[in-house]
Structures are given as structure tokens and as C-alpha cells.
Structure 1
Amino acid sequence: MKTVALILVILIAFVQYSLWYGKGGWLEIFDLEKQLQDQHRLNQKLQNQNTILEAEIIDLKQGFDAIEELARNELGMIRKDEVFFQVQQPAEAQSVTKSKK
């Protein structure tokens, strides 16, 4: 009777080992679930970036406002008959503001 019980304990231990550490075991499943959650987060982030880029592309294709904004901000362009004023502080004022920071 003791040998039967010992054999059953060994079989249960083997099954438990396979269940936890074997291929497709619980530890592997937990790791795969974590990887899946990380991938979902990355996919959502990339989807949001794609949506923003799609909206910008549509805006650039359809309207002049976005093109004008890019030209003004990125290239420093101005419209015809527009006057551009660039205000510079005197050297003394610049040194005073730098020392306050």
C-alpha cells in the first residue's frame, strides 16, 4: 500500500511540475499574457500616432491653413505685403535677464 501511495505522489509531483514549468505551463502563460498586454499598449500608442498623422495629412491635402502654418513656423515665411518685425533687446537688458534666471 505504501508503494502505491509513493507512486501516486511521484506521479502527482510530475504532473504538477509539467503544469507549472513544462511547455505551455502556467509560468509560460503568465509571461505570454504580460507580453500580450505590453503589445496591446504599444499598438494603442502607435494607433494614436497614426490617427494624428492621418489627420495632419488630410489637413495638408485639403486646406491651405495647415500649409501656411507650417510655412510660417518651420520656414519663417510671411505673406506678400506682410511686414515682419523682429524685436531685439539691447545687450544690457539681455545680460540683466540672464542674470535673473
Structure 2
Amino acid sequence: MKKNNFLNLRGDFNEKAIFFGLYTNFFLAGCSTISPEEAEQLVIDQYSNFNGTAEIISTDKKEDKYYIEWINESDGTKGVSAVSSDGKIIVIEAEAQ
């Protein structure tokens, strides 16, 4: 009987190891990262409107965010926005003239 219990424990360990491996894989796959070009396009889409198209002035990567300076000359707005690795846009500063 002890041999069967040992095999059962070993089987449980293998199942847990497989589950942990699959869970880790799904977790890492879910942590998306975007390219600088994708981040810039998100900012262009966010700050363009019927008055004109936003243009990118500069893009800097700091830690896990892209800091993008932009301007929309047609409507007189400009600013700096941070884009996180999952594509969320955070306004750092904005100005309208």
C-alpha cells in the first residue's frame, strides 16, 4: 500500500508542476508589451480630431512606459502622455492655446 500512496503523491506533484507551468505561461502571455510605433499610434488616435491630426515630437521609454510628446497644430493642443505596456494612456501634461 505504501508504494501506491507514494505513486499517488508523485502523480499529484506532477499534476501540480504541469498546472504551475501552464499557469505561468498564460500569465506571461497575458502581460502584453507594445512597440514604440504602436504606442505612438495610440497617442495619434487619441489626440487627433476633426480639426487635425496629432504629430509625434518625441518618444522616450522609461521603465515600462513610453513617454510621448505630441502636438496637434490645427487645434492648438500639445502635451506629453505616458503609454503603459498594456496600451493605457495617461496624460502627464497637456496645453491648449
Q: Specify if TM > 0.5.
A: no
- Hey, which of these two has a bigger chunk of strand by percent? 2
- Hey, which of these two has a bigger chunk of helix by percent? 1
Q: Could you state the TM-score of these two structures normalised by the residue count of structure 2?
A: 0.41
Higher relative contact order (CA 8 A, sep 6+): 2
Q: Could you state the TM-score of these two structures normalised by the residue count of structure 1?
A: 0.40
Higher gyration radius (CA): 1
